[in-house]
Structure 1
């Protein structure tokens, strides 16, 4: 885990499709000062209102995680937040000209590539984190998630679906920047053909397609390129969880165990955890524990490709 807070070296932009609207969305990630956290900015609205990434500003978990404040919302934030958390980026201004983050290819990999093109810089301020002191758990309708004390941020996630290609999948993961990039970031969101038809017919998920999701009928994957991992489904659930964890504002160093959890239950656990001061302590590493860290951006050719 990074000891210093860090941000991007320079602004970086991309354009994609909104999952809900099906319309073009422009996104720009900008460096931000220490202790800013992740701030969303609606550049399409008068006065460009800001919304902080915070568990208490989650206003909806239907189909995606939506943050909002004073009647202004931004949806589908979880994949971008997952990339930020996975790469250890603490402070960034997210400018978007629509009420949603572009879905890209349905994973966090395009955002990882984008940010690596910008490069990262240490900000000299210690990166505080929550150390778990005792177990906290929430359960609901056969689903549950808990966090327990641990020296590392660990995730043990299990999913179950009545489908021949999924059934029961389980994955254990220790959050590390290289492991996140290699094992988690490329896992795409997934859905079932019958559900996509229903959503489209009711004016929902208009931007959803085989270009940004793994789609299954009753027996098989419909995407021509198939799966990126045999267990891509549970890997994406871990990706989503890391994105939801990014709403906490600081890393939680603990062992998470989840069974069939999703955005709603994840958020309930984080709120319950933060509301109980006996469950955690806020740790600030001393200066002697903080190594200097600056990562160079990609070469110019790759940087151009990242912003194309």
Structure 2
């Protein structure tokens, strides 16, 4: 391993967000180490990196403290992305969700503390806002969690805060709002809505919207998330550390609007997609009606400036899916 480069450990680095972080920071001349058990990530996301001297893969599980300790040796920064996502998955299997998202998170904090990493940046979640009705969502105003998943992500924030205060480990939590983009998996029972809808429309199948379609989300393109991770990692503003930030665009889109955008951008490739009907089903348990982030804190303390709005991000995503799924 080259000792001259800054070493970043990306947990869950074979996943959607993790692999995009790998690619970005490899191109920025960092040494990247990945810890992943491939439970939700894919080898094909990191295949092109495996022959590089500045990339390491540790196949392991954050539920194993030994694996976490091994992964943290010589690491400067941790970008902790490993987790079991999905509200429905957590409702179906709260125990495994807790084991990965809470016990695994604590293992990573302990290993990072003991390895004296410079900073621990972790994927927090907009689900932490729970039943709070206020819009836009501001970091210090949250409600009660609405799912086991939301509980685990809130507990992550509490543990990170304690490790900052008790052990001096610098932590920054990034509350991701409905991230989408290249490499997001359209397959599986817990596929996110955008890749799922894109694949269905490409196959001329009718997407099913849960509820009336008027629920809204602050859909956030992957490049904005990468920017936030980099800003959180490199900030030298002491006030910017040991806190959480909304990682979003600061705008919201209804599911009906979302499908409209997708049909518009996909019909360029296949005109039949414009006529695919949309079906509606019951609202999903644990879903919040509306999600909209204030990004003022990230702008003020980190200098965040989103590079992509929803339409720009969807255009790029649709192009990527058409080239890679067809």
TM range (shorter): under 0.3
User: Hey, which of these two has a bigger chunk of strand by percent?
Assistant: 1
Q: What TM-score comes out, normalization by structure 1 length? A: 0.26
Q: Which structure exhibits the higher relative contact order, with contacts defined as CA atoms closer than 8 Å and separated by 6 or more residues?
A: 1
Q: What TM-score comes out, normalization by structure 2 length? A: 0.25
